[in-house]
Amino acid sequence: MGTHIYSNLQTIRLLKGISIETVATKVNFSFGHYRRIENGKTDIKVSKLLEIIKALNTKPDLVFGHALFVPLSNIED
């Protein structure tokens, strides 16, 4: 998968103010495993990616589309 997909997950999560712990819990991943996904250090199945998209309450086209950009001043993680 394109690395922008993983960074888009992080961007969407940060913009919505959702913690890593919250998403990880909803999709039955450990904090560390989910963090590695967002950092693009591990791949996941499409079915699990769809669960993450649902947990973030977002649309797949936002995740799979072009890379999203968030100014560094908005990042708290």
The set of residues, in sequence order, having a beta carbon less than 8 Å from that of 63 and lying 6+ positions away, is 5, 8, 9, 12, 49, 53
CATH number of residue 33's parent domain: 1.10.260.40
Tally the domains of the chain. Answer: 1
* 18 pLDDT higher than 60: yes
- The burial class, CB within 10 Å (0-12 / 13-18 / 19+), for 68 is middle
pLDDT at residue 70, rounded to an integer? 60
Residue 27 belongs to domain spanning = 3-74
Cβ neighbours of 76 (radius 10 Å):
7
The 10s digit of each residue's pLDDT in 19-68 is: 999 999 999 999 999 999 998 898 889 999 999 999 999 999 989 887 77
- What's the confidence (pLDDT) of residue 40? 87
